[in-house]
Copies of this chain bind each other. A is one copy, B any other.
Amino acid sequence: MNELINKLREFTAERDWEQFHSPKNLSMALAVEVAEILEHFQWLTEEQSRHLDQETLIKVREEIGDVQIYLARLADQLGLSPLDAALEKLEINRQKYPPDKARGNSKKSTAFDR
């Protein structure tokens, strides 16, 4: 992750794009990239989405790369580490949703995000 963040800083500076990379703009770019993932899955069944053909998988991988790029860039512009943020959030969720209560419960499977 540090390698990615450093390369993104360098990439941005070389092109003088710092001026465009406000957190507001980066959050929009992040949403645009996530939608490009959604686009691949919108008409597939859940089962089909678990077994992508090679061609689609390659495209989805590129979109995942883009989302990771913008997420790292956004976090960095705010002085944050996305990995530390994720690990801490997961710890919060672990305490909030004990396994025995949440088992197999789709109502609780929003646990990552609450």
A-side residues, CB < 8 A to B, are 1, 3-4, 7-8, 11, 14-17, 19-25, 27-50, 52, 57, 60-62, 64-75, 77-78, 80, 82-83, 85-90, 93-94, 97, 99, 102-113
Contact = CB atoms under 8 A, between A and B. Distances in A.
A41 B28 contact: yes
B24 A44 contact: yes
Contact of A64 (B15, B20, B40, B71): B71
A86 B65 contact: yes
Contacts of A39: 32
Given A22-B50, A43-B109, A93 B16 contact: no
Contacts of A105: 15
Contact of A90 (B11, B30, B47, B71): B11
A94 to B, nearest CB: 7
Contact of A61 (B36, B45, B80): B80
13 contacts: A15-B111, A17-B111, A24-B44, A25-B46, A27-B49, A28-B28, A30-B34, A42-B110, A46-B46, A50-B77, A64-B78, A65-B90, A66-B86
